[in-house]
Amino acid sequence: MQNNSKQPFDLTGHCALITGGTQGVGAAIATALANAGSDVVLVGLKDDETAQQTLAACRNQEVKAELLLVDLSGPPDSYLPELLKRIKEVAPKVDLLINNVGTYIDKPYFEMDYETYQTTMHLNVTSGYFLTQAIARQWVENSVRGRILFTGSINGVLSEPDHTAYDTSKGAVAAMVRSLCVTLAPMGIRVNALAPGLVRTPLTKVLDENRQLDSWMKLHTPNGQVPTADVCGGAAVFLLSDAAGHVQGQTLLVDGGMSVWQQPDPPDTWSA
């Protein structure tokens, strides 16, 4: 007898809104969700070749894919009303929200200025907080059991010099996921996060330019890999799928084990 029941990782019939969805981790998540059957709406800063490549990759999975251009680096009042209007026009049945947009623009701590700090916090924390509020409010009004995923970072639990604003923002994301879970779970809305370790994105292109740093990062990771952002796609599909129905308020680290290793000693013969 054929089993026609929906598979636990099948996202057919869902529609996902992904901020920062045109490149890096966001693009990896978008294409993975499309591969799992979900329609996608990418929120990006510009309509460039990379954005079009991500759109094409999603559409090749025979799902609907749209692109909305929005600058999320300012106060929510400056973009949220128009963004919500555009979402309603292109994808009125969004039921998956991925708050992925983020940046790393830190300066050394004694050189940090308020504008740089504020931009980091707006993109990495504030945009997700208030977009979630607006979308979740609509879901509650319409009895939608939505699912929310934040992109955190290994830097939410580990720290690096000259990453003070970035590390602060990613620690805030981890705390926000826990708090929003407690607030929204009783309303049938699931909130989780994934936290990548070091993966290859436009923000980490220095690895391609510095072989010694690349070699050190591989040595510093138990599985010896610094992979592309594609490794985040499967984790996102899981956390947004029916298979993770009882996983709530959690941050899943996708880091090759880097966060559990105190620090390896380089071999005597180590070199780039």
Enzyme catalytic residues? 166
Structure tokens at 214: 């690349």
Within 10 angstroms of residue 249's Cβ, the number of other Cβ atoms is 16
Give the whole-angstrom CA distance, residue 237 versus residue 55. Answer: 18
Interacting residues of 49 by C-beta distance below 8 A, sequence separation 6+:
none
* DSSP code string of the chain: ----SPPTT--TT-EEEEETTTSHHHHHHHHHHHHTT-EEEEEES---HHHHHHHHHHHTTTS-EEEEE---SS-GGGTHHHHHHHHHHH-TT--EEEE---------GGG--HHHHHHHHIIIIIHHHHHHHHHHHHHHHTT---EEEEE--GGGTS--TT-HHHHHHHHHHHHHHHHHHHHHGGGT-EEEEEEE-S-BSGGGTHHHH-HHHHHHHHHTSTT----BTTHHHHHHHHHHSGGGTT--S-EEEESTTGGG---PPPPTT---
Give the whole-angstrom CA distance, residue 25 versus residue 231: 9
